[in-house]
Structure 1
Amino acid sequence: MADLAVVFRRPFRQQVAAFRLRLRHLVPTSRWDDLRKQQHDRAFVVAGATKADLLADLAASVDKAISEGTSLEEFRRDFRATVERHGWHGWTGEGRAAGEAWRTRVIYRTNMRTSYMAGRFAQLTEGNFRFWIYFHGGSAEPRILHLSWHGIALPPDHPFWRAHFPPNEWGCSCYVSGARTEAGVRRLGGDPAKPLPADWQALDPRTGEPQGVGKGWGYAPGASVVQELLEIVRGKVEKLPPEIARAFVDDLAERFQGSELGRMLRAIAAGLG
């Protein structure tokens, strides 16, 4: 298996684009969960960073890490320089080497993985795959429920993906791959016959999320971008004459031909008569 730490540092177009959507909204917050789920697709936050110039410099350091594939240690150097330049005090982990190591690791890995998986969501949506396959990331101390989902292959529109598309918790390194046939699922190490656990939709009363999914993590990073595009298209065609609306949607669908997004656009076109 490839070293996932290295894989997450290989930037690709969709990952960089997904992260840079957040840079349009730098949001001062006290806590990470001041924003809810899909709101993180559209905003950059660092809990406790409340000054605009500080947040902008932290965002630039994360953007550098994602777009250039720089290491955690280089990000830590950039983080220290930013903290010193702005005189930022009171942040969680300040004053202890172990605390700084933990905080920088959380900022770095969380942004790396959520942007990576948002980019993967875009790739998978564009890829015309019949199956999406859930894979456990191979961590030394696996979460039992995440491990139980390993190898499960489901259609892209299955409701499982709405809340279980990884990452599903802080530090989660699970990922998703696509396949066009059952044989392709097996070649990748998945099992097309493996069923979901009977209680996969059961909610944890402590978090309000499905069991095995951490508080605030019950969403698919990047999925809101696809839905937002579809809403824009629907809003636009409502204002156009039917023939022009149909031609507009057909043209868009042609650009995404063979993908899940293309099929969604075709469905909109079909509804136009």
Structure 2
Amino acid sequence: MLKAHGTPVFRGCGCIGVAPQAEILPFSVAPIEAINFLKKKTAVPTETWTDLWQQEHSRSFTVAGAMTDDLVADFHKAVVKAIEQGETLETFRKDFDSIVDTHGWSYNGTRGWRSRVIFDTNMSTAYAAGRWDQIQRVKRTRPYLMYRHLEGQRFPRPIHQSWDGTILPVEHPWWKTHYPPNGWGCHCWAESLSDDDLRRYGYRVSKDAPPSPLIKRTVELSDGTLKTVEVPQGIDPGFAYRPGEMPASIDDALKE
């Protein structure tokens, strides 16, 4: 569940919001699919987020710069606990501080930014993966998805805003790359719809998917070298996949 707050926040996605600052709040019913998704992940030490690529993050839990098994495992446990108990970012930060102190971890960035990235990215992708499982179970009676953009941001991503209201069949290939979240700090989501919903609210299935030209972006690898990748316009490098989707192999996951 997302809740909006009025505190200004600088997001990793480049958006600056006065409202809302998205936060995960407790659910009346535990998000079982999202919890299981996180629990099944294997903790993997990495130097940078590019050590693993796209779908590989669906089966591996990582924290960029967490280079020991015990450190990554403790963060994995903390994130699982946070989603099981419906913790907020502020509650998670207590575990973050404890883990940092225990392991003497020296991380990049400020405490506020670093803890938010770990919490926000894992929660957003877990809920998205769990939601996809639910979508698949009901797609016979709810065969459409509508892209939704979280309103109220001072400087939202214009292209994400332009996708708001796009309605396409669940099986449309556009969702393979555009099923949200679509970047750091992105809190867009997909809403499933039935034919009755279309009639009730006057919605119409989009004639075509929004244009998705590929653009070249540069990412830094763990050895300091730069790599050029192609991603759909409006999607951050490493996010052009559906959370929960598993790669056929590690080699496939690293292909561009």
Q: Same fold (TM over 0.5)?
A: yes
SS in 2 for 1:184: helix
Asked whether the 8 Å contact 1:131–1:180 carries over to 2, the reply is yes
Distance 1:92 1:26 in 2: 20
The whole-number CA distance in structure 2 between the counterparts of 1:180 and 1:106 is: 34
| 8 Å Cα contact 1:8-1:116 kept in structure 2 | no
Amino acid at match of 1:3: K
Match of 1:13 in 2: 32
Higher share in helix: 1
Structure 2 residue 117 is matched with structure 1 residue 101? no
Equivalent residues in 2 for 1:114-263, closer than 5 Å:
114-128=125-139, 129-140=142-153, 141-181=155-195, 183-185=196-198, 187=200, 191-193=204-206, 195-197=208-210, 200-206=211-217, 207-224=229-246
Structure 1 contact 130–156 (Cα < 8 Å) conserved? yes
Q: Which amino acid aligns with 1:92?
A: N
The match for 1:41 is 58
TM-score normalized by the length of structure 1 = 0.73
Q: Given residue 122 of structure 1, which amino acid in structure 2 is its aligned partner? A: D
CA deviation after TM superposition for structure 1 residue 68, in Å: 0.7
Alpha-carbon contact 1:163-1:220 (below 8 Å) kept:
yes
Q: What's the RMSD between the two structures over aligned residues?
A: 2.3
CA-to-aligned-CA distance 1:215-267 (integer Å, 9 cap, x gap): 00000001339x89xxxxxxxxxxxxxxxxxxxxxxxxxxxxxxxxxxxxxxx
Deviations 1:128-181 (A, max 9, x none): 222111111225021111111111111111110000000000000000111121
CA shift digits 1:55-75 (9 cap, x unpaired): 111111111111111111111
Aligned to 2:113, the other structure's residue is in SS state helix
Q: Which amino acid aligns with 2:43?
A: L
CA distance change for structure 1 residues 194 and 55 in 2, over 3 Å: closer, same or farther?
Answer: same
**Separation of aligned partners in 1, 2:171 and 2:183:** 22
Q: How many residue pairs were aligned?
A: 216
User: What is the Cα deviation at residue 33 of structure 1?
Assistant: 1.8
Q: Partners in 2 of 1:188 and 1:7 — Cα distance?
A: 28
Task: Find the residue that maps to 1:209 and give its secondary structure.
Answer: strand
- 1:73–1:142 distance in 2 versus 1, CA, 3 Å: same
CA distance in 1, matches of 2:100, 2:201: 43
Change (3 A) 1:216 1:2: closer
- Determine if the alignment matches structure 1 residue 81 to structure 2 residue 94: no
Q: How far apart are 1:3 and its partner, in Å?
A: 2.4
Q: Which has the higher strand share?
A: 2
TM-score between both structures, scaled by the size of structure 2: 0.78
SS state of the match for residue 205, structure 1? strand
Give the number of the structure whose alpha-carbon radius of gyration is greater: 1
Counterpart CA distance in 1 for 2:66 and 2:132 is 29
Identity of aligned residues (%): 39
Q: What residue ranges of structure 2 are gaps of 5+ in the alignment? A: 5-21, 218-228, 250-256
2:72 alignment partner in structure 1: 55
* Partner secondary structure for residue 224 of structure 1: coil
Equivalent residue number for residue 70 of structure 1: 87
Match of 1:232 in 2: none
Corresponding position: 1:30 with 2:43: no
SS of the equivalent of 1:221 reads: coil
How many Å separate the matches in 2 of 1:167 and 1:14?
Answer: 17
Which ranges in structure 1 are unaligned for 5 or more consecutive residues?
A: 94-98, 229-273
Say which structure, 1 or 2, has more relative contact order (CA 8 Å, 6+ apart).
Answer: 2
